A and B are shown apart, each in its own frame.
Chain A
Amino acid sequence: MTKTLLTIVIISIMILFFSKISYSVEPEEFLQNPKQEIRARDISKNIRCLVCQNQSIDDSSAPLAKDLRALIRMKVQENNSDEEIYKFLTDRYGDFILLKPPFKINTFLLWSLPFIFLIIGIFILFVHNKKSKKIS
């Protein structure tokens, strides 16, 4: 009895965790061509909703997010490349609209500092290790 109960609980937890988070894309927004739809979805996932800021426009139900989704789908149908679509958006809203900031001079520290700290950390460990070995 307890075993089946436990199984049910575990399965429901698994379903809860592994199921996709619900998206805000409404059925009437879907494109007929599934390949184009997937491309539009992939782009939308990288675009920040400027109203709710920590959500992508794929997740957000803000009106602006809906407009941007429609715009991206329109551009996908017009056979614009991904780069062209990203450029169109960053020209108007800046790099902030990309959820992943590009590697540029002003984002150099953002991207490189973790690696610099990692190297410093390894260096400190190395030196410390050597010292403690000497003492022993």
Chain B
Amino acid sequence: MKKKILIFPFITFLFILIVFFYLLVIERDPSELPSVLIDKKIPTFEAESLLNKKKFISKNEFGNETTLVNFFATWCGPCRDEHVYLKRLSNEKGLKIIGVNYKDDSNKTVEWLKELGNPYSDVIVDSKGLIGIDWGVYGIPETYIVNSKGIIKYRLVGSITKKNYNAFYSKIKKSED
């Protein structure tokens, strides 16, 4: 009787061991945080546009087609890496990409877009990072998928890469379901 009870701590220990081992083995980044804005309406904001002279008013810009909101800066290395994938996505029909130029020098950004090409339908200036805070941004690049109803469906923290491109693309397609 007494010996049977002794097996319980052992099983608990084994269980904990298996759980920890599982968490260690699966592909997961513990520093990556889920966004609380998923399935919520986009934050409303007005901001300066880098390329157009008129003001960017979020109400007029979202809610017609699937939109990607990409937070980027010229000082951010991974942003440069993902640029080619953004350009590939900009050729998609029914998909619009809005760039948010996060805490950056506008002149440098204009140069950067000239050099690498412009995948964005519009680039918003967020010089103080306040738009970033409204979207819950904590480390750029970050890309949000907003569906045609203006609902945020997904957030990718980090750059779009060769490895995650297909998964990200299917998330865009699924965002309208």
| Chain A interface (Cβ < 8 Å from any Cβ of B) | 50-51, 53, 63-64, 67-68, 71, 90-94, 96
* A63: chain B residues within 8 A (beta carbon): 103, 129
Contacting pair B136 A92 (CB below 8 A):
yes
Looking at the assembled complex, report how far the CB atom of B78 sits from the nearest CB atom of chain A, in whole angstroms: 15
Interface majority SS on B: helix, strand, loop or mixed?
Answer: loop
Looking at the assembled complex, report how far the CB atom of B104 sits from the nearest CB atom of chain A, in whole angstroms: 12
20 A-B pairs, CB-CB below 8 angstroms?
A50-B33, A50-B138, A50-B139, A51-B138, A51-B139, A53-B31, A63-B103, A63-B129, A64-B139, A67-B128, A67-B133, A68-B133, A71-B133, A90-B36, A92-B134, A92-B135, A93-B33, A93-B136, A93-B138, A96-B33
- How many residue pairs link A and B with beta carbons under 8 A? The number is 37
| Chain B interface (Cβ < 8 Å from any Cβ of A) | 31, 33-37, 103, 128-130, 132-136, 138-139
Contacting pair B36 A94 (CB below 8 A):
yes
Interface majority SS on A: helix, strand, loop or mixed?
Answer: helix
A73 to B20, CA, bound (A): 41
Q: Which residue from chain A places its CB closest to the CB of B140 in the assembled complex? A: A64
Looking at the assembled complex, report how far the CB atom of B95 sits from the nearest CB atom of chain A, in whole angstroms: 25
A90 to B139, CA, bound (A): 17
